[in-house]
Amino acid sequence: MNRQEIDTLVKQMNVDTATAAVDQRVQTIVVRLLGDLFQAIEDLDIQPSEVWKGLEYFTDAGQANELGLLAAGLGLEHYLDLHADEADAKAGISGGTPRTIEGPLYVAGAPESVGFARMDDGSESDKIDTLIIEGTVTDTDGNVIEGAKVEVWHANSLGNYSFFDKSQSDFNLRRTILADAEGKYVALTTMPVGYGCPPEGTTQFVLNKLGRHGNRPSHVHYFVSAPGFRKLTTQFNIEGDQYLWDDFAFATRDGLVATAIDVSDQAEIQGRGLDKPFKHITFNIELVKDATTAPSTEVDRRRASA
């Protein structure tokens, strides 16, 4: 079949057959995607067994709750960032901390505090470096944004995230910090280790077919929001990690690379109330003012909440 015949067939089956109210948007998307799929079957001579393997794959990936991970790994989520950047540019919006992917491991409902939070439960304190993250939330002119909501989440020393890893305590390494009167937030936590896809999982299965690894560099995720500003979804990725620029999820971006500085000065250690050297990262955040002409940065997706 040629494309015209395909489009006619798809329309006959899924448009002309409507006998009840139609969601026009869904219809448009379904018709387009089916046409593109049928065209790919033509072009690549995709065999029936291959079509069924594909559908079985989605069944398995869905049952394993790995479709979010797959979207990250295949670059769909990063593509959406690039597409949003382009839409912003077209709308004349620029500046602020760059966006990058949310990933599949956010959990709503983390404990909230003002200015400071300790994020770890202490269970790994003796096997991993302490990390202090601090920064200021400002607008693009440098004015501080008191009360900005800084949601932070990251992995433990094994690259695992609480909630998804049931061996961790509730909300371990997940906090919501409201910027103080100077716009500052400080997080006392442990150094994250980069995530790796479950080796026997459905995402790694496809990555193996593509000859790809499923590793991320060490990183820390953020949602930052404040009334009158565009919600920011971002992360910093930590300098020195072998996967910094070889991230299977393509989240590392210029402006989002953080350097963890070793601090061993006794006075500084004591001043922080700590008892051993620590690592320090500064990550300042600039939010962009909201405007009616600005594309929304709120993404509606299913998220865990505890």
Measured from the CB atom, is 103 or 214 closer to Fe ion? Answer: 103
Identify which range of 90-98, 99-107, 118-126, 264-272 contacts ligand MBD by CB under 6 A: 99-107
Residue 170 makes CB contacts below 8 A (sequence gap 6+) with 162, 163, 306
Rounded CA-CA distance 114/150 in Å is 10
The conformation of residue 294, written as its DSSP 8-state character, comes to: S
Among 78, 99, 216, 253, binds ligand MBD (CB under 6 A): 216
**Residue 72 is a binding residue for ligand MBD (CB under 6 A):** yes
**Residue 174 is a binding residue for ligand MBD (CB under 6 A):** no
Identify which range of 6-14, 103-111, 224-232, 253-261 contacts Fe ion by CB under 5 A: 103-111
Rounded CA-CA distance 143/138 in Å is 5
Q: Which does 260 bind (CB under 5 to 8 A by kind): ligand MBD, Fe ion, none?
A: none
**Residue 96 is a binding residue for ligand MBD (CB under 6 A):** no
Q: Which does 249 bind (CB under 5 to 8 A by kind): ligand MBD, Fe ion, none?
A: ligand MBD
Q: Kindly tell me the sign of the dihedral angle through the C-alpha atoms of 110, 214, 76, 31.
A: negative
Q: Which does 99 bind (CB under 5 to 8 A by kind): ligand MBD, Fe ion, none?
A: none
In the chain the beta strands, taken as DSSP E runs, fall at: 107-108, 112-114, 116-118, 130-139, 149-154, 174-178, 184-190, 219-225, 232-238, 257-258, 261-263, 278-282, 285-287, 304-305
Using CB under 6 A, list all residues that contact ligand MBD.
69, 72, 101, 103-105, 195, 216, 249, 251
Using CB under 5 A, list all residues that contact Fe ion.
103
